[in-house]
Amino acid sequence: MPLRPSRVRLRAAAVSDTGAYRPVNQDAAFTAPWGGAVADGVGGGPAGDLASAAFVHRLAAGRVGSVDADTLAVSVRAANWDLRAHVERDPALHGMATTFTGVFVSEDDTLLLAHTGDSRAYLLRDGVMTQQTRDDSYVQALVERGLVTEADAASHPRRNLITASLSGGERDRVTVVEHEARAGDRWLLCSDGLTDYVPQDEIAEVITRHDDAAHAAGAAVELGLSAGTRDNVTVVICDVEVGHPEPFSVNSQTSFYGAAAARFTEGLESA
């Protein structure tokens, strides 16, 4: 029996900036009433912008509504296979990969948080912001072993070395966790161009100050740029609304940002 349409919606917006030190924006993002995500092409590998953009586009292609965990897993797997197809067509792309962090409306009125890599998700609830993802990174492993302090992790020379990503490989994995969808919650998804340079409390203060999702996203990106980030900066803000009686419309708008806006502008493939 099919699940009933979710009553949860996301009022979502995003901003992505190449920054002053990178020639290309390797971050990609999308927003829609049913979900939002950020992907960061892995630095040091080839075509990071292609990896993030291709993954985000394939993930969002043809989708107009809520999902269950199994359907989301299938969509992620298909998007990851798309990366492998690019490499098979052009071996020079071997090694391209992307992080991925996204939040999606579930058919049972909850939210599904999907994650791999070091792009982060934070939940702002009742004025308190908490990190909801674990960095898949070398430095995070050192922190958990007690070899590096949290304070030192932010400036560690190998803080950008990640231990998990999506590259089209059979063993690539994404963690999916179900969360309560509470009206008034605000989700922040961002690339490490923000979190590597700005403390969490400063990010929380800025996104709390702005009621409008687009203004909050823009202010957070500006915060990263002002802090001297040497990376691309992308911020997705998803505000949770509960109580919609109607199913998602086929005209539900999906917006793309960063590399995903610069590439594949001919339109989405059907899923």
The residues, ordered by sequence, that sit 6+ positions from 168 with a Cβ below 8 Å of its Cβ are: 80, 81, 82, 83, 84, 85, 86, 87
pLDDT of residue 16: 98
Mean pLDDT, rounded, for 194-218: 96
Average pLDDT over residues 236-252: 81
Which range among 151-155, 168-172, 198-202 shows the weakest confidence by mean pLDDT?
151-155
Q: Is 175 helix (H, G, I), strand (E, B) or coil?
A: strand
Q: Beta-carbon neighbour count of residue 78 at 10 Å?
A: 13
Distance of alpha carbon 152 from alpha carbon 235, whole angstroms = 24
Q: How far apart are CA 95 and CA 93, in angstroms?
A: 6
157: alpha, beta or left? (left if phi > 0; alpha if psi -120 to 50) = alpha
Amino acid making up residue 148 = V
The pLDDT value given to residue 1 = 36
As beta bridge partners, residue 15 has: 235
What pLDDT does residue 246 have?
A: 73
Query: Mean pLDDT over all residues of the chain?
Result: 89
C-alpha–C-alpha distance, residues 52 and 259, integer Å: 7
CATH number of 8-19+26-262: 3.60.40.10
Cross-strand partners of 177: 113
How much is the pLDDT for 44? 65
Residue 38 contacts residue 234 (beta carbons within 8 Å):
yes
Instruction: Provide DSSP, 62-74.
Output: T--S-B-HHHHHH
- Confidence grade of residue 144 (pLDDT, cut at 50, 70, 90): low
> Among 43, 38, 3, which residue's Cα sits nearest to residue 24?
43
Give me the mean pLDDT over the 166-181 stretch.
94
pLDDT-derived band of residue 163, with 50, 70 and 90 as boundaries?
Answer: confident
Least confident of 7-11, 21-25, 34-38, 265-269: 265-269
Say whether pLDDT at 47 is over 80.
yes
- The strands making up 186-190's β-sheet, listed across from edge to edge, are 8-17, 233-242, 186-190, 120-125, 128-131
Which region, left, alpha or beta, applies to residue 118 given φ > 0 means left and ψ of -120 to 50 means alpha?
alpha
Which residue in this structure is represented by tokens 């109607």? Answer: 246
Question: So what's the pLDDT on residue 154?
Answer: 67
Domain ranges of the chain: 8-19+26-262
Instruction: Look at 97-101, 140-144, 192-196, 231-235 and tell me which has the smallest mean pLDDT.
Output: 140-144
